[in-house]
Amino acid sequence: MARSSYLFTSESVSEGHPDKVCDRISDTIVDLFLSKDPVARVACETLTTTNQIVLAGEIRCAAEIDNDEIEAAARAAVKDIGYEQDGFHWKESNFTNFLHEQSADIAQGVDEGTGSYTEEGAGDQGIMFGFATDETPELMPAPILYSHQILKEMARLRKSGERPEFEPDAKSQVTLRYENGKPVGVTSVVVSTQHRDGVKLDDIRELVRPIVKRVLPEGWFPPEDEFYVNPTGKFVIGGPDGDAGLTGRKIIVDTYGGAAPHGGGAFSGKDPTKVDRSAAYVSRYLAKNVVAAGLARKCTIQLSYAIGVAKPLSVYVDTHGTGNVDEEKLEKTLRQLVDLSPRGIRTHLQLNKPIYARTAAYGHFGRTPDADGGFSWEKTDLVDELKKLA
């Protein structure tokens, strides 16, 4: 029997967190290649540490992109985040590029007409999950949404110059109390932020306080002894200088904050032929449309794939006892509404565009669709068709 009253916690990390710096660089490289060739193949991993930026992975592109252009893109990403510190500087850090051509063995299973199947297959085997819940207008779990919004607002104030005391590296954590399965209040908030040397801890606490109050619903600010700001004290050395970063180490931050299953595959650094990314996006798209159509208050969708095979091996829908439509019928309908082959997903969501650097921080889901196609998986354009099922 599902619990109706409980506490649930999610965390987020800022764009200046070492792992998120790597996600941003990797996705910037994806965008660079897709801007030159919409069907480019990219699998870019990034490592950062004290004044070091290292790229590795596999690429294939019809256009010629030299190392200087790749390096310039990576440095521009770090500059935009805001790193101009002695231990990690966008201009002064050493840059090493180990990207190389994609394996022909992998390509033959994925390219149309070259593998065991004539249709373009999935870039890998795996399982992907999508989730939506009606507990927020964005149809996202509230704890991860608020955690993202706190850090996003802090970054905005830092970059605008209104809060120069903040530095790029930061983390947040929000714990909510649920009653009858709905969030009713916040029990604790944790914010740890890198700051300029010489700023007092009490001052940082009071700079963070109004940001948290603006993000949370009115009256939801936690008790004073459950409002933690830099609980370890001084936080001047941060970012890749304080802790090495790697692409793909914040997958729960990227999705639903632990409120839903995760397939295990990271998103950043991968072009949309990789179902780790594109199938996770379409799973969210389908789940969000189910909830937006009023067919359920909560919905989890799982897709599974085999490398080189176009069709999904399974489509699973779980409405957690909140649905008003038979789940098996819903599974069949969703497959009819959207072609869930890798090519079909990319075509339906228009994913072969340079739209990925913006996804690297503050979550891939719960965002507003952009006019240029960014966050297309957040659209609710299937609602009218799905309402016919009700």
Residue positions in the annotated binding site for K(+)?
A: 45
Active site residue 17: yes
Residues 244, 44 contacting (CB under 8 angstroms): no
> What is the C-alpha separation between 68 and 56, in angstroms, rounded?
15
Active site residue 274: yes
Tell me how far CA of residue 16 lies from CA of 132, 234, 313, in angstroms. Answer: 27, 17, 38
Active site residue 276: yes
- Give bridge partners of residue 305 from the DSSP assignment: 126
Q: Which of 24, 75, 152, 250 is catalytic?
A: 250
Sign of CA dihedral 302, 307, 310, 311: negative
Active site residue 76: no
Residues 166, 25 contacting (CB under 8 angstroms): no
Q: Which of 11, 17, 148, 254 is catalytic?
A: 17
Active site residue 104: no
Token pair in block for residue 273: 């032929």
Residue by residue, what is the 3-state secondary structure of 158-224? Answer: HHHCCCCCEEEEEEEEEEEEEECCEEEEEEEEEEEEEECCCCCHHHHHHHHHHHHHHHCCCCCCCCH
Active site residue 45: yes
Active site residue 249: yes
Active site residue 171: yes
Q: Is 104 helix (H, G, I), strand (E, B) or coil?
A: helix
- Find the Cα–Cα–Cα–Cα dihedral 195, 197, 202, 207, rounded to 10°: -40
Q: Which of 205, 249, 353, 367 is catalytic?
A: 249
Active site residue 166: no
> What is the C-alpha separation between 363 and 73, in angstroms, rounded?
22
Active site residue 197: no
Q: Which of 24, 60, 163, 274 is catalytic?
A: 274
Q: Which of 80, 119, 243, 331 is catalytic?
A: 243
Q: Which of 76, 107, 244, 306 is catalytic?
A: 244
Annotation: binding site: 17, 19, 45, 58, 102, 169-171, 234-235, 243, 249-250, 266, 270, 274
> What is the C-alpha separation between 44 and 102, in angstroms, rounded?
11
Active site residue 19: yes
Annotation: binding site for ATP: 17, 169-171, 234-235, 243, 249-250, 266, 270
Residues 146, 174 contacting (CB under 8 angstroms): yes
Q: Which residues are the active-site residues? A: 17, 19-20, 45, 58, 171, 235, 243-244, 249-250, 270, 274, 276
